[in-house]
Amino acid sequence: MKTVAVVGGGWAGLAAAISATRAGHRVTLFETSRHWGGRARALPGSAPDGNSTLLDNGQHILIGAYTDTLALMRSVGVDPDATLLRLPLTLLFPDGQGLRLPDWPMPLDVLVGVLTAGGWSAADKWSLLCTTGRWQLAGFRCDPLVSVADLCSGLSPALLQTLIEPLCVSALNTPADRASGQVFLRVLRDSLLGGRGSSNLLLPRTDLSSLFPTAAAHWLEHQGATLKPGQRVEQLRHQTRWLVNDQAFDAVVWATSSAVAARVLARSAGDGDTTGALHRWAALAGALRYESIATVYVQAGNARLPLPLLALRSSPRHPAQFVFDRGQLGGPAGQLAFVVSASSDERATLQDQVVHQAQSQLAAWLHGQALTVVQTVVEKRATFACTPGLLRPPQQIAAGLLACGDYVDGPYPATLEGAVRSGLAAGHALAGTA
């Protein structure tokens, strides 16, 4: 049995702590805030009538291919069938155009979905089927330096605007012209060819804290782990054992954001035998670039959209790519969440643009009801920019010191599944640490 410190209580850190605890280690989990879940947790807000309402610090979509995330939720007592609304892959716009797969076995679901999609010509559909067929023959692999835009250059503007770009920004949170084609193909492979239901959308019916972090923290406490919320770790040293804020551990799993990890580890390198390893890892983590995500919560009377999730036609003046009807997902009736990936505008400008976009594109369901901005959550470093040829920091930092997070080297972009898999892998790797 080892004493293990996990620094960071997001989904990756919680997964690492659970994995290490199951392996029989004595775990202490540090988290700067007093709330578990990192960038995927509940957030208190105020409704326009002054009553309190529970929001999230970013609207999330899971998919059926998130096998490790779903299994981990079940293991701590959360029932995904009760807490997630499962829908066949749907990327429909308010005018009814776009893709909607039937709930059929693969690959019939994709074939029928493409053939019945609205807004695409017969030539568009044939081109898409031929292109995806070539990707499959190539094993869903391409040159690591190819972007998604390069990968899809032969597709029509209609396909690019109503399928590729929404898929890319939802999966990689990076615009197609600078997103990694190889990572995009990996996501497509695991979702479209991962078995029946793997491409399903899983929309949270509860707040993100209840979806996993709160249950995970309770499970860890019940298993004897030591939880330290509200304790910032600003010092890490190695003197035979690892010292975390002067407390000695046999091993450490660093599970904070890449920016925090780079800053603290570079400052903690010191003059010991781990100096070079910490500096090299911190340099890789510090070189990552980020994409922001803004979620604009709007109260639209008691409006109800035709689906819980709609794709939106985005432009510089209409920046949101998706809207969620939270009234259909367990939230207050008429509460809409507009998601703006790769956002760069100021908060006030963004809110005005989103309200105008809603009035323009959702008029048929708003019935002239007034729109009131409830709250806007902007995560300026929500995800790393998933660009072609990106060098991501490895899991192993030094002997007895591991990293986990959605940004750590792996096949997936910055997703909850990527974070969970990274945390589980770090927990499993503790058996081989010195």
- Looking at residue 252, its pLDDT comes to 97
- Please, what's the largest Cα pairwise distance for the chain? 68
Give the domain extent around 224. Answer: 3-37+212-289+387-432
Q: How confident is the model at residue 346 (pLDDT cuts 50, 70, 90)?
A: confident
Domain end call among 363, 384, 405: 384
Q: Residue 73 falls within a domain, yes or no?
A: no
User: Does 187 share its domain with 131?
Assistant: yes
Of 287 and 345, the one with more pLDDT: 287
pTM attached to this predicted model: 0.95
Query: Which of 34-48, 110-124, 244-258 shows the lowest mean pLDDT across its residues?
Result: 34-48
* Domain annotation covers residue 80: no
Residues 301 and 378 in one domain: yes
| 424 within domain boundaries | yes
Q: Is there a single domain that holds both residue 407 and residue 284? A: yes
- 313 assigned to some structural domain: yes
337 and 231 both lie in a single domain: no
pLDDT band at 289 (very low <50, low <70, confident <90, very high): very high
Does the pLDDT value for residue 434 go beyond 70?
A: no
Whether 224 and 247 map to the same domain: the answer is yes
State residue 242's pLDDT score: 94
What is the reported pLDDT for 107? Answer: 86
Using the 3D structure, point to which of 151, 172, 199 is the last residue of a domain: 199
Q: What is the 3-state secondary structure (H, E, C) of the chain?
A: CCEEEEECCEHHHHHHHHHHHHCCCEEEEEECCCCCECCCCEEEEECCCCCEEEEECCCCCEECCCHHHHHHHHHCCCCHHHHEEEECCEEECCCCCEEECCCCCCCHHHHHHHHCCECCCHHHHHHHHHHHHHHHHCCCCCCCCCEHHHHCCCCCHHHHHHHHHHHHHHHHCCCHHHCEHHHHHHHHHHHHCCCCCCCCEEEECCCHHHHCHHHHHHHHHHCCCEEEECCCCCCEEEECEEEECCEEECEEEECCCHHHHHHHHHHHCCCCCCHHHHHHHHHHHHCCCEEEEEEEEEECCCCCCCCCEEECCCCCCCCCCEEEEHHHCCCCCCEEEEEEECCCCCHHHHHHHHHHHHHHHCHHHHCCCCCEEEEEEEEEEEEECCCCCCCCCCCEEECCEEECCCCCCCCCCCCHHHHHHHHHHHHHHHHHCC
Is a pLDDT exceeding 70 seen at residue 271? no
Is residue 272 pLDDT above 80, yes or no? no
**Does residue 76 sit within a domain?**
no
Residue 402 has pLDDT above 60, yes or no: yes
Burial of 251 (0-12, 13-18, 19+ CB in 10 A): buried
Q: Average model confidence (pLDDT) for the chain?
A: 94
The CATH number assigned to the domain holding 46 equals 3.30.70
Clarify whether residues 254 and 396 are in a common domain: yes
Per-residue pLDDT tens digits for 8-35? 999 999 999 999 999 999 999 999 999 9
Where does a domain end: 166, 199, 232? 199
Q: Is residue 157 part of a domain?
A: yes
Verify that 53 and 103 share a domain, yes or no. no
229-244 residue pLDDT tens: 999 998 899 988 999 9
Residue 191 lies in a domain: yes
Instruction: Say what the pLDDT of residue 1 is.
Output: 87
**pLDDT at residue 281 is higher than 60:** yes
Q: Is 108 in the same domain as 173? A: yes
Give yes or no for residue 49 having a pLDDT over 80: no
Per the structure, how many domains does the chain have? 3
22-27 LR contacts (CB < 8 Å, sep 24+) = 22/427, 23/427, 23/428, 23/430, 23/431, 25/1, 25/251, 25/430, 26/1, 26/2, 26/224, 26/225, 27/220, 27/225, 27/226
Q: What's the rounded Cα separation, in Å, for the pair 79 and 76? A: 9
- pLDDT for residue 273: 63
Asked whether residue 79 is domain-assigned, the answer is no
Per-residue confidence (pLDDT) for residue 45, from 0 to 100: 84
CATH number for the domain including 12? Answer: 3.50.50.60
CATH number of the domain at 139, please.
1.10.3110
Domain shared by 192 and 93, yes or no: yes
Shared domain for 153 and 223, answered yes or no, is no
What is the pLDDT, as a whole number, of residue 94?
Answer: 96
Average pLDDT over residues 64-82: 97
Beta bridge partners of 55: 43
Do 316 and 258 reside in the same domain of the chain? no
In this structure, the answer to whether residues 342 and 409 fall within a common structural domain is no
pLDDT confidence of residue 168: 94
